[in-house]
Structure formats: C-alpha cells, structure tokens
Amino acid sequence: MKLVIAITQDDDTANLVSKLTEEGFRVTKLASTGGFLKAGNTTLLIGVDDEKVEELVKVIEKVCKPREVTTAVSPMPLVEDTYIPYPYNIKVGGATVFILDVDRYERI
Ligand code: 2BA
C-alpha cells in the first residue's frame, strides 16, 4: 500500500475530491499554506493499493492544472526590511505529489 500526499491548488480541490471519491479512492483533505507564496492550498492524503497508484496519479493530472499566480509583493526586500509592492508572476504547478510506502494500515 502507498500513502499519496498531494498538494493542490484550492481552485481544483472540490473537483478533484469529487472525482477521486467517484472513482472509489478514500481521501482526507487538509487546509495548508505554501511556504513561498504564504497562500492557502490543499493537502490531500490518499491511502491506496499499489496497483491503483498510476490510476490515481492520472486523475490528479487530469484535474489539476498549472496556473500563473500574480502576487502583490516581491519576496525580496529592496533595502533591509523594506518591501516594494509590485505585481510578481509565479507559475504554480498543478500538483506536488509525494508517494510513500505504508508499513501498516488499520481501519478500526
Ligand atoms: P508555495 O511554497 O507557496 O510555492 C508556490 C510556487 O512558488 C511554487 O509552485 C513554485 O513555482 C514557486 N516557488 C516555491 N518556492 C520557491 C523558491 N524557493 N524559489 C522560487 N520559486 C519558488 P509549486 O512548485 O508548484 O509548489 C506549489 C506548492 O506545493 C507550494 O506552495 C508548497 O506548498 C508545495 N510544495 C512544493 N514543493 C514542495 C516540497 N518539495 N515540499 C513540500 N511542499 C512543497
């Protein structure tokens, strides 16, 4: 068994969770915050049998799209502690996916 941790954009979450549930995957949704943009995103925990991992990754690929995000403040200070606000474009990926081995799984 694997534990898939998928960090996704909030805009894709409802659609992705519905699709995964429809396809028979069990999902836990956590509200999370990206360290770089300091903006909300969603972390999904999905426990899945080894043979279903590729199917799961394909669903994530289909639903989650990369987007360009405009952030108002440069993360770099111009002078010490002085931040000049200006539009800054960053491409956020469709999803960041980690796939981990599960030693033991119990549903009690
Ligand atoms: P954030 O940390 O808010 O990052 C948002 C986007 O900003 C990233 O998109 C990337 O394009 C850019 N970015 C992040 N760190 C950067 C840096 N040090 N220098 C330049 N640009 C940087 P993604 O790579 O698609 O990541 C989307 C979100 O996925 C991240 O939000 C973070 O919450 C998570 N993530 C990505 N890689 C991760 C990792 N290795 N470990 C844990 N979380 C990760």
Q: For every one of its 108 residues, what pLDDT tens digit does the chain have, with 9 covering 90 and above?
A: 999 999 999 999 999 999 999 999 999 999 999 999 999 999 999 999 999 999 999 999 999 999 998 887 655 666 677 766 678 789 999 999 999 999 999 999
Distance from Cα 34 to the centre of ligand 1, integer Å: 7
Q: Which atom of ligand 1 is nearest to the CA of 39?
A: 3
DSSP lists the bridge partners of residue 88 as 71
Question: What whole-number distance in Å separates Cα of residue 7 and Cα of residue 44?
Answer: 6
Distance (Å, rounded) from C-alpha 71 to C-alpha 45?
28
Number of H helices, E strands in the chain: 2, 6
Instruction: Tell me, yes or no, if the pTM score tops 0.85.
Output: yes
Task: Give first-to-last CA distance, the chain, whole Å.
Answer: 17
Q: Which residues line ligand 1 (CB under 6 A)?
A: 7, 34-37, 39, 41, 90-93, 96
| Separation of CA 108 and ligand 1 centre (Å) | 35
User: 90 alpha carbon to ligand 1 midpoint, in Å?
Assistant: 10
Among 66, 81, 75, which residue's Cα sits nearest to residue 36? Answer: 75
2, containing H or E segment:
strand 2-8
Closest among 32, 82, 80, 25 to 54, alpha carbons compared: 25
Cα separation of 2 and 100, whole Å?
A: 5
Which residue has the least CA distance to atom 33 on ligand 1? 34
